[in-house]
């Protein structure tokens, strides 16, 4: 294989990996929107425009990565993401924030609403408002409510 063929293959593999990440993000968002209800693989495949086997592979990859997906086989089977209204606070150090930001940059922060929201939060975490911006002006005098 010459250098151009190897580059083309690597580029294609990278493109396929990016499509997989985008699809898995869409899959998680779709399951979150179901609010804990089970969704059939065929329905997910139709929504994502891929085969049921592709969705099954994506679900397995996500599960192996630690995403708490529940899978049920059989006639009433499907996949669900346990619903929780809020998550616990997470504290990241700067290198961890940078790692997440670089991953989102590859995906494209505009790939989904949640990707954009995550990028905004990470950016704000690295650029906290200055203390002067939070303090009221020197001429500010609090008034009493009556």
> Do residues 73 and 22 both lie within one domain?
yes
Q: Are 59 and 72 in contact (CB under 8 A)?
A: no
Say if residue 58 is exposed, middle or buried (CB neighbours under 10 Å; 0-12, 13-18, 19+): buried
Assign residue 13 the CATH number of its domain.
1.10.10.10
In a domain, 46, yes or no: yes
Q: What is the pTM of this model?
A: 0.73
> Do residues 67 and 123 both lie within one domain?
no
Q: What confidence tens digit (pLDDT) does each residue in 20-63 have?
A: 989 999 999 999 999 999 999 999 999 999 999 999 999 999 99
Looking at residue 140, what is its pLDDT? 53
> Do residues 26 and 72 both lie within one domain?
yes
What is the largest distance, in Å, between two alpha-carbon atoms of the chain? 82
Q: How many domains are there within the chain?
A: 2
Looking at residue 130, what is its pLDDT? 72
- CA-CA distance, 54 to 48, in Å (whole number)? 10
Q: What confidence tens digit (pLDDT) does each residue in 98-125 have?
A: 999 998 888 887 888 888 999 999 999 9
Q: Torsions phi, psi of 34, nearest 5?
A: -75, -5
Mean pLDDT over all residues of the chain?
A: 84
Would you say how long the chain is, in residues?
A: 146
> Do residues 62 and 110 both lie within one domain?
no
In a domain, 145, yes or no: no
87-91 average pLDDT score: 89
Query: Residue 98: which domain range?
Result: 94-128
**How many other CB atoms are found less than 10 A from the CB of residue 20?**
15
> Do residues 65 and 40 both lie within one domain?
yes
CA distances from 81 to 25, 57, 63, 72, 114 (A): 13, 16, 10, 12, 16
Residue 65 token pair: 């990565």
Looking at residue 13, what is its pLDDT? 76
> Do residues 103 and 68 both lie within one domain?
no
pLDDT at position 144 over 70: no
> Do residues 13 and 76 both lie within one domain?
yes
Looking at residue 83, what is its pLDDT? 87
> Do residues 45 and 111 both lie within one domain?
no
């Amino acid at each position: 294989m010459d250098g151009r063929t190897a580059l083309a293959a690597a580029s294609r593999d990278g493109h396929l990996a990016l499509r997989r990440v985008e699809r898995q993000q869409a899959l998680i968002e779709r399951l979150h929107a179901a609010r804990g209800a089970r969704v059939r693989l065929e329905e997910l495949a139709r929504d994502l425009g891929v085969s049921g086997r592709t969705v099954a592979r994506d679900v397995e990859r996500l599960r192996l990565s630690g995403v708490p997906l529940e899978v049920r086989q059989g006639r009433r089977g499907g996949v669900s993401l346990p619903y929780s209204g809020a998550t616990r606070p997470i504290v990241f150090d700067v290198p961890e924030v940078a790692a997440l930001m670089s991953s989102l940059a590859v995906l494209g922060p505009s790939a989904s609403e949640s990707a954009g929201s995550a990028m905004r939060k990470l950016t704000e975490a690295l650029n906290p408002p200055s203390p002067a911006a939070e303090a009221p002006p020197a001429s500010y005098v609090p008034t009493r409510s009556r």
